[in-house]
Amino acid sequence: MRAHLQKKKRECHSRLCYGPSMESILIGVAAFAGGALLWLPFEYGLHLSFHVLKGKGFASRAHLDHHVHASWHFDPIITLAWLGVVLFGIGFSFALAAITSTVFGIAFGAGWTVGYFFYEWHHRQSHLRGPRNRWEAWLRKNHFQHHFGHPMKNQGVTASIFDRLFGSYDMPEKVKVPRRLAMPWLFDSEGNLLAEYQDDYEIVGTSTSTDERQRQIDKARAYASRTPEPV
């Protein structure tokens, strides 16, 4: 009985009784941050590959179709991408845990996965609502120059580090947005460009809708990574 109590006492000096050590916490935080930062080259590289592939493969087609209508709406198919990212993140965690430590592996994989969903959320928000701070204003201008100014530029959505590194960063004084593809948050109730966006955006064209013929033209241009025409 005494030996059993001594064994229990020794076990209570373990992390299970007193929680994780400061070293483990620091490793976890650093690994999480590293994983989140590692998402950035994936964001750049995947985005660029969708244009280079010109519609070859499901992911490339889905992305270029997004360029055709230049808006965001929930499509159940996107849940496959979310599932794939989560599964990759879990596999990544286990692989790293096997060669490093459990704390490092899980935290790093979690950081990478959260990095993706951070990107996904802000990409969605950029299409659906106006900016609320300077970073969001930059993100929208950066991203919509990619949509409407030069699809082979500005592949990074949440950060421009790799575009700057590889010479694909493009930030004009004003982004020219075709009226028929413009984000609703740009306009007031009468369809005029809001004053707070006039320094960064210019509305071009007069058409407010897209017929089937124009949609096919937009699709051909999107799959060739060319900007949509103002009409």
Task: Note the pLDDT of residue 77.
Answer: 81
pTM for this model (two decimals): 0.88
Task: Note the pLDDT of residue 30.
Answer: 96
- pLDDT tens per residue across span 136-190: 999 999 999 999 999 999 999 999 999 999 999 999 999 999 999 999 999 999 9
> What is the pLDDT averaged over residues 43-50?
97
Task: Note the pLDDT of residue 15.
Answer: 47
Domain coordinates of the chain in residue numbers?
A: 23-223
Closest by alpha carbon to 14, among 27, 24, 3, 1? 24
Q: Give the pair of three-digit tokens for residue 140.
A: 């929208």
**Cα–Cα dist 129/80, whole Å:** 25
Q: What is the DSSP letter of 202?
A: E
> What is the pLDDT averaged over residues 60-77?
91
For residue 206, CA distances in Å to 146, 177, 180, 196, 217 come to 21, 11, 8, 21, 17
- pLDDT tens per residue across span 79-135: 888 999 999 999 999 999 999 999 999 999 999 999 999 999 999 999 999 999 999
- pLDDT tens per residue across span 178-206: 999 999 999 999 999 999 999 999 999 99
Task: Note the pLDDT of residue 19.
Answer: 63
Task: Note the pLDDT of residue 38.
Answer: 97
Task: Note the pLDDT of residue 20.
Answer: 74
Residue 5: which pLDDT band, with cuts at 50, 70 and 90? very low
Residue 209: which pLDDT band, with cuts at 50, 70 and 90? confident
Task: Note the pLDDT of residue 75.
Answer: 83
**Cα–Cα dist 220/222, whole Å:** 6
